Amino acid sequence: MLSKTIEEALNNQIKIEAESSQIYLAMACWAEVKGLEGVAGFMYAQSDEEREHMLKLVKFVNERGGHAKVSALKAPDVTFNSFKDMFELLLKHEMFVSQSINELVHISLQEKDYATHNFLQWYVSEQIEEEAVARTILDKINLIGDDKGGLYLFDRDIQNLTVSTAAQDNTQA
């Protein structure tokens, strides 16, 4: 059984994951109308992934005797100054999500809810990967600069982007 404190904190994270999905959906739409098909595809996939993260939390809350709440969401920005600004926002947002997950882990330890603590470890690892992907993308964007040919290649290749992180390397050992 979840404590009210844990249930409330998890429901807040459900909202954050839902808003993340909406943010990335808005980014996908913006990229698509700008002709950045690869970036749009990447963002659509990110949006789907965030929704999966939300659903995983919903099911966990309900299975543990809580009640997952579906709440109103803050509307995301729908326009961006550049694709670089958009990816900088993505990194900033992922860092915010990481901070929120870390706070959840802290609350689970305070409440001595080790089942929730264990469940959240997947999110901790996932956030390491999400931030690494965003940083790798920004590194590539900085290499491109204002080169239109580089932007074309980046847009074409972003769908195939994979990042090996320390967390992934540890699971393969």
pLDDT in tens, 127-153: 999 999 999 999 999 999 888 888 888
- Residues at the binding site are 17, 50, 53, 94, 127
CA-closest candidate to residue 133, choices 156, 155, 165: 165
Residue 126 structure tokens: 């996932």
CA-closest candidate to residue 25, choices 67, 61, 96, 75: 75
| Average pLDDT over all residues of the chain | 91
- Residues at the binding site for Fe cation are 17, 50, 53, 94, 127
| Domain layout of the chain by residue ranges | 4-167
pTM for the predicted model, two decimal places: 0.90
CATH assignment, 4-167: 1.20.1260.10
